[in-house]
Amino acid sequence: SSTELNGNHWPKAPSKIAPIKTSVTTQIVEIPFEERRFKDTQNEFGSDQNKICAQVQQEHEVKIEISNNARARSLTLLVTGRFDKVSNAVSELRKRLQTQAQSEVTVPAEFHRHLIGKQGGVLKEIKLKSGCEIFIPRENDANPNSIRLIGPKENIDKARHEILCIYDEVSKKATERLVIPKIYHPFIAGPYNRQLEKIMTENGVRVNIPPVHAQHDVDIIRVSGEKDGVVNACRIIRQLYQDALERCQTVNIEVSKSLHKFVIGPRGAGLQEILEATGVSVEVPPAEDPSETIVLRGEGTKLGVALTKVYEKADSYATCTVLAPTWMHRHLIGPGGENLQKVVGLPTHKAQINFLRGEDKIEIDGPKEQVVVIHKNLKAWVDDYVKRNTMVEVAVPREFHRHIIGKSGGTVNKIRETTGCTVRVPADIDGEDVVRIEGERDKVNLAREELMQIVNKQANERSKDLIIEHQFHRALIGQGGAKIAEIRDKYPDVLIKFPNADQNSDVVQLRGPRDQLANVEKLLKKAHTDLRDSSYEEKVRIGKAYHKDIIGRKGQTIAKIREETNTRIIMPDSGSQSDVITVIGKQKDVQKAVRQINDIEKVAANIVEEVVEIPARLHQGLIGHGGKLIRQLQDQHSGVRVHFPPASQPSDRVTVRGPKTEVKKAKAALQQLAEERLEDSQEAVIHAKPEFHPFLIGRQGQNAEQLRKATGARLVFPSLDERGKEGGDIITIIGRKEAVAKAKEMLEKQVKDLENTTEESVEVDPRWHKAFMERRGFYITQISQDFGGVQLSFPREPGSSRVVVKGPKDCVQGAIARIREIVDDLAARVTIEVAIPAIHHRSVIGRSGDNVRDICDQFDVSIKFPEFNRQQSQPSDANAAPAAAEVTANGGGENAAASGSETSSNPEGSGDATPSKADLVSISGRQEQCDKARQALLDLVPIEEQLDFPSEFHGQLIGRNGEGIRRLTNELNMAITIPSKAEHIVLNGTPKRVEAAKIRLQERLNELEAEKADQEARSFECKLDIPAQYHREIIGPKGANVRALQQKYEVRVNIPNPDKNSNEIVVIGYQDKAEAAAKELMAIKDKLENQVSAELFITHQVHPIIIGQRGKNLRSLMEKFDVAIDMPGRNAPPDAQNTVVVRGAQADVDNACDHLLDLAGEVIDRMIERGELDPRSLRPDAASEQAEQPAQAQQQQQQQPQKQGKKQQQQHGGSGPGFVVRDAPWDQQQLASSEHFPSIGGGNGDPAPPPVSGNGTAKPSAWSRAK
């Protein structure tokens, strides 16, 4: 059996296995020959048909395969992709590749809205399904019922069918409007609309009855649906209305307005209940109507029963009020109403509890017995809540509200956590200043104090506006706000506000405490100054052909320049005609980058630079308005750039830079232009269409030059970029008065002649037609641009040689002459061959064919490389061999060779051996141009040379992970091989690049040798013998002292680890600096040897006061007296907890000890007076007694939980200290290190020596000292 795959039908899956669905489908599109828009049956690349298919394929993300039936000459397309994409693509292909027919279909205008649909949805769907354009007529059109269809014939039939189907379906429906007084609507709808729903269900219609309180069309009932159902439903409704009209009577009663809502019930349930029970309609006036009259309408026998039910409902409900402050309402309700449900105390009830906005009361409506219970429970809850809680209002200016809230509500949440109170800050749109605090009565005042502290702090803040140019704002903020975040982290209390980018404002707003504000202002001003200094900008003009050399391979060259000079280099877009490169940064860095860029161009293009002396007063006139004059001079001399000195640095020196021959010509032209400017020169302008400018200029400026010679005036044309803009049609004439007048007259005559259009023909052999079409019509586009926008029409009939040229008369003649030139050039073409080893083809072709394309454009030739044969090319590595490549510059190609043109074989370097076909490259063009192109190709063939390079520097040249050699290879765009254990390196590349590489590598070798000499000079060592006990003082806190010494002398100081017990310190650096650093270290040693130390007995209860927060007081004392003070560490033994050691010069130690003893005495006296210190704990033997306590009891004491404000009870016998210090700095985790608690216990947590008195005995006083 065979399986058939046709369209979207896949083979059936095996039984019991679910089929796999695919989202990919294939649809076949067939277009008969007579309906094809493009009759050409050849499937040529670049044809309009293929371009359309490629465009549709890209736009709709599908795959399109094209097939031409040679016999039937029909077109078949296979479109593959997702179903929705394929449908759209098929519709687009039929629209653009198939001839469009036109037809009309008649549909009454009242049905057009059904064809359009909501927001045009129905019409869009019909268009998508059929692939046709559908035009719905307007109401005021001549034939408003005729719908126009445009598209392929079969698609028009599909669209017609869809439209008529919708019309037939819609035309069967109808709509009726019944006028029935609204007072009878309840009898038609029935209780709970049940009767109305029955009518709609049984008849399949929709019935719309206006709501009770509608304002318009209150008596109109609309019925819509199928015609038969509408007729039957209308009959039933009219019958119900007639029955109600005959049997209904009316009774009016007066009921208090406040009771109406109880009669109505929730959502009108009360009225529906009465209607269902009695068949009587109850009409209650709307709430805004002050009337108290309720109307009852129905059968007379039922009116009494209904009246009774109305009074029952009115009397069974009650209303009462509970007084409760507004701020309490949300607490009463609770999350999701849970708290209110608990307070009410009734699981189910029909009462309504209304919290009135802005009023201090709660209304309760409902059944009387339920209202009584709810009122009692609510009032009890409110009374209890008011006793325990309160609310205070604090007037706070609105500008402080955001500070109260804090970032992401952090501040207000902190107040809530610490006090348990809720702080309610009004929204900005409320326009209130009052902040409300709710919570327990004793906590509200505490929250109010914290709130006022925040307000007072913000009130003391200052604001300042800084003027910083908006172009610097982004740089100040940094990527992702990183830079400004550093400042904000350092000064979190300062608010920094930059204006929005669209405001274009220079004002940066600062707000915060005065001292922090000043620091932030200083930082921002400094950053602003640095940015302004680094925003110097310079533009350098570099030939467009050399931009790729500046960019380098994968951007390596330009990246290196940016990195070395710390500048921003902006290259023009690849599609732009501009050759200006912008460099931005600090002035000296920019100038360095510009020099490097110019150097690259010099190497790549053999650039020279000359200086012309021209008076500075003429510079502006030579440049011309918007630089037009000097730009035209540069365009006339290819590759030349003229640089005038900036206006801020007046000078007569003008630099001319470019190829040597062109620089000489440009220099002469510039001097001539300056001489003309010295005379009495004038200017005039005329307007001419931009398409006429190329013809007025002429090839290589011939026409403009002829006019200048004839009149003595100079013409300035706008650049290509300016031609499409305002003023792009202005031609400026510069010269003496009579010369300008004569030139203007001649130019106006030429422009007038160009505006007269004519048409002529020229005979061109059909064999050259294809050459004109190649490369997207290169020749045709060039002729049109050069000759005033003329139009060229080539014949479609095979064998015809008549080419029509249409345009201005003079332009047509020039275009015909140019066509004949091109034909002669094509006929004179020859083909030569040059032998280049196939292994080098890829490098010769260049990336994306750039090298060969440049040669083709320069010499007007075509170059063809042979197809790559992997077996003939060595090595066989795919990266070493090029793919087949053919570059055709100006047409002709194989056709030119095949038409009888001369062919010569001249392989290079063939010698006695015949070169392989894989090595032969064909060049087609004029003989002299082919010879030049051949030499240009040979100059691109890589060569190999050796360069002496000591092996000791190979590692530095290669770099880490090969980064250095890789960067150098990319920069020079050539291969560099570094042999193992050799004193040279191998260069492989074009001769020009090899020479440049030798210069660059020699510079690198000089740098490495200089680095080696410098490294040897920096390795001088000084060894010092300094006792190990002084090493800590030399190092300083966190290494601050030794780090400062190293930075001061630019040396490295090696200090041995304490566990090595070594005294040797080594200083490494330049000899003079190392000796100076060693001298300073010896001075520190001498100073430390002359120090004395003293031990003081100061009870540990006083130590926190001496140390201060994070050691602030202790550091202040040490700086004041120039001493070192060692406090006992947290792990010091009990007998050393009260010992303080002071070290330094004799006099300084004495002064520091006296101060410490005086300070300790004052603190102890105050603590004893307040009862915070037991005098017995001041005895020197108190620590020893405590040390003798059992270790187990001491451990138990340390493990007891401590509570603030309560004394710790001793768990063992004996009398201990009368108080316990808690949360002291040494008990905090963050103060356990020497960074936050300097010089504690000798600096390493080691116990200090035991206290010793002057005579060796302990003193009974509170403190003592020994020297």
Mean pLDDT, range 825-838, rounded to an integer: 86
* Residues 226-245 pLDDT 10s: 888 888 999 999 999 999 88
Cβ-contact 232, 203 below 8 angstroms: yes
Tell the residue number behind the tokens 């220099």, with chain if given: 667
Output 984 or 1204, whichever has higher pLDDT. Answer: 984
CA angle 150, 155, 156 (to 5 degrees): 50
* Residues 907-928 pLDDT 10s: 444 444 577 888 889 998 888 8
Cβ-contact 394, 448 below 8 angstroms: yes
pLDDT value of position 680: 63
Range scoring the smallest mean pLDDT among 598-612, 820-834, 863-877, 1158-1172 = 863-877
Token pair recorded at residue 518: 């000043």
User: What gap in Å lies between CA 596 and CA 560, rounded to an integer?
Assistant: 10
Confidence label for 886 from pLDDT (cuts 50, 70 and 90): very low
pLDDT value of position 585: 87
pLDDT value of position 1201: 40
User: What gap in Å lies between CA 230 and CA 504, rounded to an integer?
Assistant: 66
Whole-number percent of the chain with pLDDT over 70: 84
Cβ-contact 519, 487 below 8 angstroms: no
* Cis status of the peptide bond prior to 19, with omega within 30 of 0: no
Distance of CA 95 to the CA centre of its chain: 40
What's the order of all strands across the beta sheet hosting 714-716? Answer: 682-687, 730-735, 714-716
Output 920 or 700, whichever has higher pLDDT. Answer: 920
Which domains occur in the chain, in start order? 24-97 (3.30.1370.10), 101-171 (3.30.1370.10), 176-247 (3.30.1370.10), 317-391 (3.30.1370.10), 396-460 (3.30.1370.10), 461-532 (3.30.1370.10), 759-824 (3.30.1370.10), 828-941 (3.30.1370.10), 1020-1089 (3.30.1370.10), 1092-1196+1218-1266 (3.30.1370.10)
Output 260 or 1252, whichever has higher pLDDT. Answer: 260
**Residue 1265 pLDDT > 60:** no
Mean pLDDT, range 574-583, rounded to an integer: 79
Cβ-contact 930, 863 below 8 angstroms: no
User: What gap in Å lies between CA 272 and CA 186, rounded to an integer?
Assistant: 9
Torsion, Cα 465 467 470 474, to 10 degrees, reads -70
* Residues 140-168 pLDDT 10s: 888 888 898 888 877 888 888 888 888 87
pLDDT value of position 2: 33
User: What gap in Å lies between CA 1221 and CA 1207, rounded to an integer?
Assistant: 10
CA angle 620, 626, 632 (to 5 degrees): 85
- In sequence order, the 6+-apart residues with CB closer than 8 A to the CB of 1026 are 1034, 1063, 1065, 1081, 1082, 1085
Token pair recorded at residue 198: 């029955």
User: What gap in Å lies between CA 484 and CA 913, rounded to an integer?
Assistant: 73
**Residue 1183 pLDDT > 70:** no
Q: Of the spans 428-432, 713-717, 1004-1008, 1129-1133, which averages the highest pLDDT?
A: 1004-1008
Range scoring the smallest mean pLDDT among 278-292, 771-785, 945-959 = 771-785
* Residues 366-385 pLDDT 10s: 788 888 888 888 889 988 88
pLDDT value of position 234: 92
pLDDT value of position 679: 64
* Residues 754-781 pLDDT 10s: 777 788 888 888 888 888 887 778 888 8
* Residues 402-424 pLDDT 10s: 878 888 888 888 888 888 888 88
CA angle 272, 276, 280 (to 5 degrees): 85
pLDDT value of position 1132: 78
